[in-house]
Amino acid sequence: MTTMTRDEKITAFRAAYLAALTEAIRRNPEAYDYPADKADHVVHRMISTMLREGPLSINRDTPAFKAACRKAGVKNTAKDLAAWFAS
């Protein structure tokens, strides 16, 4: 098993989150305050904020974020996210 670097983890999580958020907006656009073409910007801001201020600083309760966690293989808890992105 190959261990991912921190940058690889960020890249993989970003891709998973972007795919999940874009799909969620496509399926249920009325639930979002922005269109699918803005998902990239939202994902960038969420991940940047999480890395800078910690997992408690963002809304981790969305279906898209939870799906990204599952895809990345990290538990959606502040402790696990902080540890996963720190290593």
* pLDDT tens per residue, range 24-70: 999 999 999 999 999 999 999 999 999 999 999 999 999 999 999 99
| SS3 at position 55 | helix
Taking every pair of Cα atoms in the chain, the longest distance, rounded to a whole number of angstroms, is 41
Confidence (pLDDT) at 87: 83
Alpha-carbon span 32 to 28, nearest angstrom: 8
Show me where the domains of the chain are located.
Answer: 10-86
Beta carbons of 81 and 6 less than 8 angstroms apart: no
pTM of the predicted model as reported, rounded to 2 decimal places? 0.92
